[in-house]
Structure 1
Amino acid sequence: MKVVAFERSVQGTGASRRLRNSGKTPGIIYGGKDAVSVIELDHNALFHALRKEAFHSSILDLEIGGKAQKVLLRDYQMHPFKPLVLHIDFQRVSATEKVHMRVPLHFINADTSSAVKLQGAVVSHISTDLEVSCLPADLPEFIEVDLSKIEVGHGIHAKDITLPKGVSLVLHIEQENPVLANARIPAVKSADTEAAPSAAGAPAAEAAKDKS
């Protein structure tokens, strides 16, 4: 994805406020061997870009003065109650250095699992993203989590999924192996199942009582 920015010559709280009032968003670019760069971006274009999932997990081509550089979105601040981006941070990336990034999870095939089809289980998504390590060229926009074999009372863990080529879990995720999704029978459904035999047995019990 391409992002167009402009060099910002004036800094400070007052300058940033005036920048926002003119429809711009202040930001910075850091990382690599170059010094930190202060930039400004068109607010409306940035606001719509932030609504796209890929903008948060892809290598971005950030263009300043006709020259592009590879960056990652690292942080941004929103106004507490207005649809306003207050500030944004980008990090430069090198093609030869691995990056750590949180990548969105896309859950698939839950409806085809026996837990859902035959047992009426409900699948809960415990995590919506996963932190991985890879070279910038190998960074996926998302990772698919196949739920076709999920079982009731069991979860799909981080180590259970197939990662794209060149992508690995970061160390602490590897060690913790968190649950990404699980399947459980709803409490109401369980109660109905247990009550059914009792309800079926009631007429027989009443009939026996009448005979006596």
Structure 2
Amino acid sequence: MQTIVLEAEKRNTKTKGALKALRKKGLVPAVLYHKGEPSLTLAVKESALRKLVYTTESHLVNLKFSDGTETQAIMKSRQFDPVSDQILHADFQLLKADEMIETEVPTLFKGTPVGTIKGGRVQVIMHKLRIRTLPADIPEHIEFDISKMDIGDTLHIKEANEMFTSAKWKILGDPSISIVSVVAPTKAVEIIAAETAATEPEVIAKGKEKSAEKAEKK
């Protein structure tokens, strides 16, 4: 997994006015936490943070402080302004090499399902999956080959874990939860197709009638 370095500043400012001033400087208020330890309030550059936010992959983070120390973490959540889409806040979880963590990882699907050749369509239910693993074993994404899926087939968490028995991580959640399906065409599409098929001969027939009328007049 790729690691992104973020320069971070420790901060003591917590009032709304102080946080607003930070954001005007292009900084994002953040918190670094670990279970059983005091949280640390930070500020990171929004421009650098966007590399973590606007990506389809998972990344580890090295928070680099001005005193030369570095801390490995993972971003757990972020908040956005609903109007401007500005990043308002971010939460980071401190990582320890020997401690298992739970985190979300994007899903990736490859292959053309046989069901789509028959008119079906792919329906992705889970764009991210929650896993449990050690920090060093977090994958950038989890890739599934769906080329053999037919119409009506569904991949659940149970089957997904069976596919990756040798992986150093485990997908969490109810085993019956669906991840991706190949579904039949909707009725609306079928109706349109049927109407089109029924209308085309009529149009052709009308065209022939008009041609015959012109020939008779001549």
TM-score (norm 2): 0.78
Match of 1:2 in 2: 5
1:17 partner letter: K
For residues 21-32 of structure 1, the aligned pairs below 5 Å read: 21-31=24-34
Q: How is 1:139-150 mapped onto 2 (pairs within 5 angstroms)?
A: 139-150=138-149
Contact 1:2 1:61 in 2 (8 A): yes
Q: Find the counterpart in structure 1 of residue 20 from structure 2.
A: 17
Post-superposition offset of 1:185: 2.4
> Is 1:116 the equivalent of 2:119?
no
> Residue 51 of structure 1: CA displacement?
0.8
1:71 equivalent to 2:70? Answer no
Q: 2:108 aligns with which of 103, 106, 109?
A: 106
Structure 2: unaligned runs, 5 residues or longer: 202-218
Q: Residues of 2 paired with 1:176 and 1:13: CA distance?
A: 43
- Residue type at the aligned position of 1:81: V
Q: 1:137-188 CA distances to partner (integer Å, 9 max, x unpaired)? A: 1110100111111121121112223336211122xx1x34311111122135
Aligned residues between the structures: 191
Kept in 2, the 8 Å contact 1:108–1:144? The answer is yes
**Do the aligned partners of residues 10 and 188 (structure 1) sit closer, same or farther apart at CA in structure 2, a change above 3 Å counting?**
closer
Inter-partner Cα distance in structure 1 for 2:62 and 2:183: 43
Query: TM (normalized to structure 1)?
Result: 0.80
What are the within-5 Å matches in structure 2 for residues 23-102 of structure 1? 23-31=26-34, 34-54=37-57, 57-65=58-66, 66-102=68-104
Q: Distance in 1 between matches of 2:27 and 2:110?
A: 39
What is the distance in 2 between the residues matched to 1:194 and 1:76?
49
1:44 aligned counterpart, secondary structure: helix
Q: CA RMSD in A?
A: 2.4
Q: What is the letter of the counterpart of residue 92 of structure 2?
A: F
